[in-house]
Structure 1
């Protein structure tokens, strides 16, 4: 019954496109290429339910595991970030360097969260706090490099990383003062629009700065960039 209720709830919420979301899911036009998604789950019921609901989302194209090298996003439903889940994420990242990861978990500890973020995972959702509509929006946003970690987990994660800072080696060079300011605001949990308002820049300028920061830090996405910056003492 729980799965059926979730499906009905998503149908009431309406289409994914244009829905507001903390993950900053962008508007996507009809001509925009669909996002290729590899779907994994710990149990068959969740896997089949996710295939039915997410397979009907126009922005998404579900691909088989044997085509993982063509995927844009790995969407993984699991009870927690177990060693098996982490090993699977590591394997997928090795075979597809551009792959973005979205984890939908029942629970996750601070230490496990720090570990998966260190792998470049920028999107972690808690299953009881989201439905398939939010999952779909997060997948769309993840393809654009956005991150989504629950706010109550983000604070402890940043504190833990700052306690461990300095373990990553010498700080990277090449970040300009305004890039450091943007990076610091990302670490505080601000999104693109909020940072633009805070610094009196356009949204486009902030997006350009963020992409340079990600490139300079050799990160996979925004959350990974913040994690790397904290570990080496940049912020």
Structure 2
């Protein structure tokens, strides 16, 4: 008697692993093409698009929802940090990796302020770019802790200076601020009186108040102090 065996169920193939989607933001076509080839050669990475400006990058990020945005620090329409902020507003989950020739601390801190996960210099090797993209896609932050500390300290300093400026501004009347701006233009009492259509002695009265509030001794010192404190721009 022949024993019939049940046929073994067919096994379905394993689904292909999802590739990390990368948006390249680079206004130099040759460099963008080279980076694209490097990333596409990896089995776990895919280039979702290439943008040559900040505006294009924001739209591409909103449309394609990339996992990682690998971007230049300097773009033809906006700065890299400004573009990064707009990208994060359009697609908050995107990890930002900067790739820049600017190695200054200011650039690094600007990148951190904009929400960067990593900052690579232009001499980074292909392997370093690949590793940074992979690690950024997992949520890893590749910027040293001491730089984050400096960025936080800088932000606090900006907030403190703004608060001090706002407090000082509140001490000045609109007319006194007008006087400060006219002093910065180099106008004398007669010219200021004509510009504001008020009497010269009223101008002198306002000037005395401005000098007293800034705790200086002359019109020139008042202009310098006001500019230093952010009340006017020279």
Q: TM-score, normalised by structure 1?
A: 0.50
Q: TM-score, normalised by structure 2?
A: 0.50
Larger Rg: 2
